[in-house]
Amino acid sequence: MSDAPKSTPRDVFSYLLATAMLYVAVISFLTLLFQYINIWLPDQLDFFMSGSTSATQRSTASLIVVWPVYILMTWLLGKDIKLNIEKSEIKARKWLLYLTLFISAIIIIVDLITLIFNFLGGELSLRFGLKVLVVLLVAAGVFGYYLWDIRRDRSKSSQLPKLAAWISSGVILASIVAGFFIVGSPAKQRQIRFDQQRVEDLQVIQSQVLNFWQQKAALPDQLAELEDDISGWQAPLDPETDEPYEYQALGDLDFKLCAYFSTQSKVQNMSPKERFSPRGFSGNFEHGIGRECFTRTIDPELYSQDKLKPLPVR
């Protein structure tokens, strides 16, 4: 019986790359599904969900790049083994396959332990159960396929690799497409970032108006009065149109700030997927689409002129 052929640098590179791409793809896919579960089954204790969108975008970007590379590498490696069946026994391939089986088995075991532990503790919820199920199915799928691949008879042709590639690619493609419906298109995300900047600008202007009143016991007639040559502060402009924000003094203690928004942030009118968008917490600047005005009244007993640090405006 002849010894197994030695691994060439090309073989090591190919199998390392394919294995690395598999691991990154699995992690990204699980992260993506976890974020979908977080969005559609939100936890009331998770107040801020901006990280959910960022994680979804990172995972989607990873899958778009990594998965085609993995499919290409496995196709090239399979083609190489068909030309030289002895290459299925090279050490680089065997080591990485068994490493993948080991990691998959550990994940399955830990996943089941976690499931039983939480079940015994009475903390099993649909949200948690779905995450455990997703990890179990993915890890079991990887383990089962590569266990079959190690044991398969290379002298016999099989359509399973091609079928597995098509099915897994279809599932990943569906998960990526679902992300556009959940977190919105790139154009929608850009509009959200513009609106987030508008809210931050209005908060800054509001703070400057309050500080002006504390120092001078009067509201400015226009935003230009807030500009300071020493500090260099100037009223921010709309990030998309470069137009100034609307400001109007309504009395001795009342003023109004207005801006045009492209998206909606009002929690009471938002669906679950919109509620956990990257806008973050907008405080008392919740807004709809279009021109929105925010009227503020300064309480002189609360915001006395001798305060050195401005406090929030109600």
Taking only the tens place, the pLDDT of each residue in 191-247 is 888 998 999 999 999 999 998 888 888 899 898 888 887 878 888 999 999 999 999
At residue 168, the pLDDT reads: 94
Distance separating alpha carbons of residues 100 and 280, to the nearest angstrom: 39
pLDDT band at 18 (very low <50, low <70, confident <90, very high): very high
Q: Is the pLDDT of residue 44 over 80?
A: no
Q: Residues 6 or more apart from 281 whose CB is under 8 A from it?
A: 47, 48
| 22-34: average pLDDT | 93
CA dist 105 and 99 (Å) reads 10
Please give the Cα distance from 13 to 20 (Å, whole number).
Answer: 10
Sequence length of the chain is 314
Are residue 118 and residue 198 in the same domain, yes or no? no
Same domain, 107 and 52: yes
Residue 186 to residue 64: CA distance in whole angstroms:
15
Are residue 19 and residue 166 in the same domain, yes or no?
A: yes
Its domain, for residue 288, covers: 187-297
Per the CB < 8 A criterion, the answer to whether 50 and 278 are in contact is yes
- In this prediction, residue 309 has a pLDDT band, given cuts at 50, 70 and 90, of low
In a domain, residue 313? The reply is no
Region 177-203 average pLDDT = 83
Residue 161 lies in a domain: yes
DSSP 173-210: HHHHHHHHHHH--HHHHHHHHHHHHHHHHHHHHHHHHH
Residues 223 and 179 in one domain: no
Q: Return the pLDDT at 201.
A: 93
Q: Is residue 303 part of a domain?
A: no
Select from 133, 168, 183 the last residue of a domain: 183
Same-domain status, 53 and 161:
yes
User: Distance between CA 188 and CA 194 in Å, rounded?
Assistant: 10
Residues 91 and 224 in one domain: no
Q: How far apart are CA 223 and CA 296, in angstroms?
A: 15
User: End of a domain among 136, 165, 183?
Assistant: 183
Q: Model pTM?
A: 0.69
Report the percentage of the chain scoring pLDDT > 90.
42
* Count of CB atoms situated within 10 Å of the CB of 7: 18
Residue 264: per-residue pLDDT: 85
Give dist(CA 307, CA 313) in Å, integer.
14
Domains identified in the chain, total number = 2
Are 119 and 239 found together in one domain? no
Work out the mean pLDDT of the chain and round it to a whole number. Answer: 83
Angle, helices 126-151/9-40, rounded to nearest 10 degrees = 160
Contact 84, 11 (CB under 8 A): no
Residue 246: strand, helix, or coil: strand
Residues 230, 88 share a domain: no
> Is residue 212 domain-shared with residue 271, that is, in the same domain?
yes
Higher pLDDT pick, 115 / 279: 115
108 and 248 inside one domain: no
* Cα Rg, the chain, nearest whole Å: 29
Amino acid letter at 168? S
pLDDT at 108: 93
Q: pLDDT for 95-127, tens place per residue?
A: 999 999 999 999 999 988 988 888 787 766 888
For residue 314, being part of any structural domain is answered with no
Bridge partners, residue 248, by sequence? 256
Both 13 and 130 in a single domain? Answer: yes
